[in-house]
Amino acid sequence: MNKKTMMGVMLVALICLTMVVPATMADATSPFIITGSVSDPDGNPCNGPWVQVTNTNTSVSWDTENSSTSNYYKLVLDSEDVNADNVLLFEASGCSQTKAVGHTVTQNEIDFGGFSKDITLEAAAEADNKTTADIPVSGTVSGSYMDTHESDDVYESITEVLSTGNPVKNRYSYLEHKWTIDVADGSKTNVTFYLEAYHNPSSDGDDFVFAYSTDDSTYSDMVTVIKTADDNTYQTYELPNDLSGTVYIQLKDTDRSKGNQDLDTIYIDHLFIRSVLAPPSYGVTATIDEASQTVAPGNGTTYTVRVKNTGDFDASYNVVMSGTAVTEATIDVSPLNWNTGTLAPNAENVQTVTVSTTASTTETTYTLTATATCDQDASVIDSAASELVVSSAGCTDDKANADTPVAGTVTGSYPDTYESDDVYESVTEIESGGKPANRYSYLEHKWTIDVTGGSDVTFYLEAYHSPISDGDDFVFAYSTDDSTYSDMVTVTKTADDNTYQTFDLPSDLSGAVYIRVMDTDQTAGNKALDTIFIDQMFIRSESGPPSYGVTATIDEASQTVAPGNGTTYTVRVKNTGDFDASYNVVMSGTAVTEATIDVSPLNWNTGTLAPNAENVQTVTVSTTASTTETTYTLTATATCDQDASVINSAASELVVSSVINVMHIVSIDMSLKTAGPNKNAVALVTIVDAAGVPVGDVTVEGHWSDATSDTDSDLTDVNGEVALDSDKLKNPPSGTVFTFTVDDVSLTGWTYDPAANVETSDSITV
């Protein structure tokens, strides 16, 4: 009788004994016994396995009994620990392998008093990610990155070079070299850097340090090579388990002391990053597209719930909606639950959930949560939460959704600015570089806020800064393009008084808004490192009661056709109101009234559009050979069927011209560029077509005169601009004149019209 059969007999015997206990013990709990064996992927016994069992319904875990001389395990529970339909998660490891598997308890197993569960372990997959490219920076390279792929005594070597500068005795030896490695994607349990390398004996104390980066900017040191012979052993470094994609490996010497001029060499035999991939498993992520939505009592909206299979197996998921929006009697949420059906790995189920309120729904903020549970493994679960704001005032507080550090030491992060709770995000100044006497303290930090928009938009800030000794305060500014900023408020408080500073923003502000904080004093010598503390920061959008709204746009601002030809315009009508609505659209303008031009369709109805929905219509415009060559207007006007006072128009142009694809120079802007003692001029040439639209990919050729006599040519960018530089002059005297003249402008399929040039030559004086 083998051990497995013996265990089964013992299990049956034990269960039988429990059935003949005295009547006085009838109410006592009975044992529930789980047994099984653990084997490796080839079916060989894996002795002394570790097995943990978790009841995913109660979150209680138990370690099983095992033996170092056997691959069997045993777990004795009370009958009250397990019920029918409970899902048990078995996690096993041994023989350098692991496995997680689920088991749903049946009523028969409850009645029988236990069951047997054999587990076959799975080997962890390994991926050795090798170098894919060399990036030489400084040093003499022998061999290439390919020579680092195997431990075979074939090396890529890099030898130091000598710095420049005088006096010669102060020069030093140095090197820097980089490689790229593409690290495999996927769930990983371990990521390790491996290096087999050595350097020649050094008389000036030089060693070599290896570092890594994911952006080729910020590097973290890993290992330092001090070996002076190849001993066929690896130096290793544990990297983050979520590391994937392109990784940059940097090599630098450790000693750049003046006068240390030995040109040392490092030899790399084998270099790679090993990823130990996690065993296949089930996985899921649940998301709701809309983080928060606001409706007036009696209105409704929709949420988009996405459930994605992030695991390695086909799986299905049960999704349940919950939260105060579900429990509130006056709010209807539909559907409340659904099953995704079977999803392949990386596949996604998308469900539209409709939420409706009544006129009596209390005005407050409700929660809405979607929870997805894997049918095959109930321990695999994920939730996503959103908000439903019921408000007749239409007031929305939009909070920061990202930090953009620029300069300064940051403590905390943007979520700490969400509430007035004395939990702060703080930014501390840093010291500038340069001569010690000229250094100063400074900081700059940015946030992004997605602004809802409304009739009134206001910036709110609760913040203070540390007591200062050099007159520093902190100014907050906003921008819609992260380029041009407008100042809002200056923080002068040195204690949190729980009051807001506010600033009225433009009423049409919406979408991504950038918030920037900077210090106000960067005077040389003022080096105190002050700190700004932000308790709460948001932008409030307020609007009146729900209303109808519409915007009309035409994608093409202007188009040019020859007589007898035609083109199309894309007209978009968007419902920007709070209710479902339809719109009547009418085309007008001189392009419509001109008898020789046909515009079709001249009018149409969008049909019912939900809030934020858009109707897109292609309008065809045709001319005849007799159409007069001039510029015609084309206007689309959308009027709301439910409220005729809600109206919006968009205009475009139709240029009818037999001369098309004609270009000329609209401007030459001159400037000077200085680099040390050298100075040169820059001519910025702009090319446009007959309608004034910039033309890209145009070759502009010209020559310089007066101060220099060089020639230049280059292509215009999408803005029709090209910058052409003169030769440099060293310390040109005041009054020196640089002149640039365009000799030719060319582009296949286009005609250059010099007579239309606004200018062909321009000068600038030093």
Q: Could you report the per-residue pLDDT of 225-250, keeping only the tens digit for each?
A: 999 999 999 999 999 988 989 999 99
pLDDT at 4 (0 to 100): 40
- Neighbour order of strands in the sheet with 603-605: 558-561, 647-656, 631-640, 583-588, 603-605
pLDDT at 9 (0 to 100): 40
pLDDT tens-place string over residues 581-622? 999 999 999 999 999 999 999 999 999 999 999 999 999 999
Cβ atoms of 534 and 628 closer than 8 Å: no
Handedness of CA 78, 81, 85, 87 (dihedral sign): negative
pLDDT at 215 (0 to 100): 94
pLDDT at 312 (0 to 100): 78
Buried b (16+ CB within 10 A) or exposed e, 561-596: bbeeebeebebbbbbbbbbebebbbebbbebbebee
Bridge-based pairing state of the strands 614-622 and 631-640: unpaired
Global model pTM greater than 0.75: no
Checking if the pLDDT of 17 tops 50, the result is: no
Q: Is 230 exposed, middle or buried (0-12, 13-18, 19+ CB in 10 A)?
A: middle
pLDDT tens-place string over residues 69-106? 999 999 999 989 999 988 898 988 888 677 888 899 99
Q: What is the rounded average pLDDT of the residues 690-695?
A: 87
Handedness of CA 145, 148, 152, 153 (dihedral sign): positive
Cβ atoms of 404 and 309 closer than 8 Å: no
pLDDT at 16 (0 to 100): 40
Checking if the pLDDT of 263 tops 70, the result is: yes
Least confident of 453-457, 563-567, 570-574: 453-457
pLDDT at 7 (0 to 100): 42
The two three-digit tokens of residue 348, written as one number = 């996604």
Q: For 481, phi and psi rounded to 5 degrees?
A: -130, 5
Q: How many CA atoms lie within 13 A of 443 on its CB side?
A: 28
Given pLDDT bands bounded at 50, 70 and 90, which one contains residue 679?
A: very high
Given pLDDT bands bounded at 50, 70 and 90, which one contains residue 681?
A: very high
Q: Is 604 helix (H, G, I), strand (E, B) or coil?
A: strand
Structure-derived torsion over alpha carbons of residues 68, 74, 75, 76, reported in degrees to the nearest 10: -120
Q: Give CA–CA dist 532/493, Å, rounded.
A: 10
Q: Give CA–CA dist 14/9, Å, rounded.
A: 9
pLDDT at 125 (0 to 100): 66
pLDDT tens-place string over residues 736-764? 999 999 999 999 878 899 999 999 999 99
Given pLDDT bands bounded at 50, 70 and 90, which one contains residue 197?
A: very high
Give all strands (DSSP E) within 314-408, no chain letters: 317-322, 332-334, 337-339, 348-356, 365-374, 381-390, 396-407
Checking if the pLDDT of 685 tops 90, the result is: yes
Least confident of 379-393, 639-653, 688-702: 379-393
pLDDT tens-place string over residues 328-379? 999 999 999 999 999 999 999 999 999 998 867 898 999 999 999 999 888 8
Checking if the pLDDT of 568 tops 80, the result is: yes
Checking if the pLDDT of 20 tops 60, the result is: no
294, 295, 580, 613, 728 from 547: Cα distances, Å: 13, 11, 10, 15, 63
Give all strands (DSSP E) within 576-691, no chain letters: 583-588, 598-600, 603-605, 614-622, 631-640, 647-656, 662-675, 678-689
The two three-digit tokens of residue 508, written as one number = 């049409």
Given pLDDT bands bounded at 50, 70 and 90, which one contains residue 123?
A: low
Strand partners, 99: 92
pLDDT, greater one: 185 or 357 = 357
Domains and CATH numbers, the chain: 3-123 (2.60.40.10), 126-277 (2.60.120.260), 284-390 (2.60.40.10), 396-542 (2.60.120), 550-656 (2.60.40.10), 662-765 (2.60.40.10)
Helix (H) or strand (E) holding 32: strand 31-39
Query: What is the secondary structure of 229-242 as a DSSP string?
Result: S--S--EEEEEPTT
From 215, 209, 220, select the one nearest 252 (Cα to Cα).
Answer: 209
pLDDT at 226 (0 to 100): 94
The two three-digit tokens of residue 739, written as one number = 């002149």
The two three-digit tokens of residue 243, written as one number = 């590391």
